[in-house]
Amino acid sequence: MQDALKGLLRRHGLIVAFMVFLAGVALNTDAFLSAGNILDVLRQVSITGMMAVGVTFVVLTGRLDLSVGSMLTLLTVIVVDQHNQSGPLMAMIITLAAGCALGAINGVLVGYIGLNSLIVTLAMLSFLQGLVLFYSGGSNVNITNAQDTWFAVFGRASLFGIPVPVVMFLAAAAVAAFVLKFTTFGRQIYGVGGNETASVFSGIDSRRAVFWTYVISGLTTGLAAIIMGSRVMGAQNTIGQGYELTVLAGIILGGTSLLGGSGSIGRTVLGIAMLGFIQNGLLLLGFPYYVQWLVTWAVIIIAVWIDLGAKRGRIFA
């Protein structure tokens, strides 16, 4: 009995701790578990969630993508600016194409040329920050006809009572989960992340698989930019700053391993949602907003610790 409890804690310790936290917040506030608040939290996490869905592909291969934050900034500026110039539909097409193209650049450098993913995507982060200012000339952009564009749907409308961005996030998650679980491409990703050498010996083109994970990451960042642009109806030059860390935190918190090969979209959705509820709960409890950053930090450290512990156990026991 005691052993069973210990095992449960070790395997699902974070989730148990999260439940305790939820219960604690719920007892101390009225609004926390109301349908309205829950939908609110989901709406807030839909942008990071959308990005995390794509970045999960990258992380499953044992690599990182730190460029998605400033990519979100650039793509949001693009979608807003193009909305004014070419109309909503063209703006969205251009944004998604740009996202895929930027992802493809990362993909070539990391996948085909074999450069270290941390350095490549960190450099991309910095490059894109510059590119944003170059593109926008340093000023904020706003959608001029904000009152009467159907583009507002993505950030502001609801479908059967569920915010459209939440629907988009969950739909993207469902598609991604299907791809990872049931397709040959998904199997290749787990193979490359689990043991790249053995995968190459099995005829898997690991370079190609890695390349496509970055394209997917760029694509979901493009979708996130559409939600962001639609919600804000404008874009500042720093709008996506720090998002790459929140995204990564959610992925790690869900239990997807940074070492590659183990994890899932379901876990990412869980991790992102947990992060959202923690931050929301802290605000409702009356903590100042910056406390959530400190807590996020602690949560990441603990999650990575558990991940490493589990790995060690698996390898050496």
Partner 1 sequence: MTDVILEVRDITKTFPGVKALDAVSFDIRPGEVHALVGENGAGKSTLMKTLAGLHQPDGGEILYMGKPITVAGPLEARQEGILLIHQELSLSPELSVAENIYLGAWPTNRFGVLKKRELRQNSAKALKALGCGFGPDVRVGTLSVAMQQMVEIARAEAFRANVVIFDEPTASLTDNEKDQLFQTIRNLKSKGVGIVYISHKMDEIFDITDRITVLRDGQVQGTVDTAGTDLNQITRMMIGRTLDNYFVKAKAEFGEEVLRVEGLSNKGLFRDVSFSVRQGEVLGLYGLVGAGRSEVVETIFGVRKADGGKLWWNGAEIPLPTPRQSIDMGMALVPESRKEQGLVLMMGGRENTSLPHLQLFSSGSIMDKKKELETYRKYQEALAIKTTGPDQAVSQLSGGNQQKFVLAKWLCANPKLIILDEPTRGIDVGSKSAIHELIAELAEKGLAVIVISSEMPEVLGVSHRVLTMSEGAVVAAFEGDGLTEENLIDAVSHQPASVAAE
| Binding interface with partner 1 (CB under 8 A) | 182-188, 190-191, 194-195, 197-205, 261-262, 314-317
Our CB check for partner 1 shows the closer of 27 and 315 to be 315
Our CB check for partner 1 shows the closer of 156 and 187 to be 187
Give min distance, CB of 51 to partner 1, in A. Answer: 25
CA-to-CA distance for 143 and 256, rounded, in angstroms?
38
Determine the straight-line distance between the first and last CA of the chain, rounded to whole angstroms.
Answer: 22
CA-to-CA distance for 207 and 227, rounded, in angstroms?
31
Give min distance, CB of 175 to partner 1, in A. Answer: 13
Distance of CA 68 to the CA centre of its chain: 8
Residue 200 is encoded by which pair of tokens?
A: 């190459």
8-state DSSP, 126: H
Give min distance, CB of 230 to partner 1, in A. Answer: 32
Our CB check for partner 1 shows the closer of 152 and 306 to be 306
Give min distance, CB of 256 to partner 1, in A. Answer: 13
Our CB check for partner 1 shows the closer of 88 and 261 to be 261
Our CB check for partner 1 shows the closer of 108 and 200 to be 200
Long-range pairs for 182-186: beta carbons < 8 A, 24 or more residues apart: 185/209, 185/212
Which are the contacts of 27, defined by CB distance < 8 A and separation ≥ 6? none
Give min distance, CB of 213 to partner 1, in A. Answer: 16
